[in-house]
Amino acid sequence: MPEKNIDFGKFGARGIRGSDAVARKLDELAGGIATPVTVRRGLMARLHYLTKSAHARRAAQDAGLTVTDRTLKAWLEGGRSPSKANLARIDAAYRAVRRQNVARHLLKRLNRDGRGTRVEIHPLDQSQVARPLQRVVEYRTMNVRRWDRIVGSWAAGDYQGLDDAWTTDVLPDLGSQWGQYEYVTNIGFAA
């Protein structure tokens, strides 16, 4: 891929990878519990979400919450409170399960029966780049029709897969300048 950036930010450009921006936006669209896990209210909400049904428990276990049912019960009843490491595990498991649960619905909304979703790409920030090295990078929009790989790898937590799907499948549709949009300030779309 000759268009790929090799040493991004060498001259002061700032931005995040397009796929990261997509993952961030998808997380935003997926929504979820806003209260942090360190607060009792947030912890309880997450634990309830992860222990609601047998299916949820299994998903939590697959997502890395490998504690015994006895521990979970103690946490839920407030007899014990999870350690810092376990709090992080609960949060990670919650995010993974939440993504899996909303992925199907989100995918349907984004594909819109093949009509796709309009995506806005806001270019990288060049304000810290020396004037002679600045380039005209415009705001672009495009329609993305096939979201299956993007949402699939996002739901699986596979960031490399998401990056591949975004950079090799979607971005080249922008035309010969797609390399300028590998790093962006923001990617916006609605679902």
Partner 1 sequence: MSDFDAIDSLLAAVGPEAELPAPRVRRELRERARLSKAQVARALGVSPSTVAGWEGGRDPVGETRTKYAYLLDGLAAKFAADTEPETASPAEPAAPPVSDPTADSPSPEPAEGDEVETLAVPEPCVLCGHPAGTRVAGFAQHLDVVDCRTTATAAAPPADPTARPANAQAPRPPSRMARPSERSKGPAGRAFQEASGPGDLIGQAVQGALAEHQGDVEAATAVLVKRAIPDAMRLLDESRKGARYDVIAHPWIPDILKKQTSRGADQIWEARPKWTRAELPPGRHEVTTLDINGAYLSALKTHLPLGQLEHSTGLAHDRRRAGVHLITPPEWEHEAVLPNPIGQRDEPGPLWVTEPTLRLLLRLSSPKYGLCEPPEIHESYTSGATENLLEKFRIALKDARDTAIAEADEVTLEYVKAMYSKFVSTMGESNYNRELYRPDWMHIIRSQAFANLWLKALKAHDEGLTVVRAMGTDELHVIGDWRRVFPEGRGVTEVKVKDTYTAGTGTTEHTGTEGEEE
Residues near partner 1 (CB under 8 A) are 25, 29, 31, 34, 120, 122, 127, 139, 141, 185-191
**Is 33 or 65 the residue whose CB approaches partner 1 more closely?**
33
Name residue 63's amino acid. A
Cβ atoms of 97 and 60 closer than 8 Å: yes
CA distance 46 to 168: 35
**Is 75 or 183 the residue whose CB approaches partner 1 more closely?**
183
Quick one: which of 89, 70, 76 has its CA closest to 47? Answer: 76
**Is 72 or 150 the residue whose CB approaches partner 1 more closely?**
150
> What is the closest distance, in whole angstroms, from the C-beta atom of residue 127 to partner 1 in the complex?
8
> What is the closest distance, in whole angstroms, from the C-beta atom of residue 70 to partner 1 in the complex?
33
**Is 6 or 34 the residue whose CB approaches partner 1 more closely?**
34
> What is the closest distance, in whole angstroms, from the C-beta atom of residue 47 to partner 1 in the complex?
19
CA distance 112 to 60: 30
**Is 101 or 186 the residue whose CB approaches partner 1 more closely?**
186
> What is the closest distance, in whole angstroms, from the C-beta atom of residue 129 to partner 1 in the complex?
15
| Buried-exposed string 91-121: b where 16+ CB fall within 10 A, e elsewhere | bebbbbbbbebbbeebbeebbeeeebbebeb
> What is the closest distance, in whole angstroms, from the C-beta atom of residue 53 to partner 1 in the complex?
25
CA distance 28 to 60: 21
> What is the closest distance, in whole angstroms, from the C-beta atom of residue 39 to partner 1 in the complex?
11
Residue 133 CB partners (closer than 8 Å, separation 6+): 11
**Is 65 or 180 the residue whose CB approaches partner 1 more closely?**
180
Structure tokens at 68: 């015994």
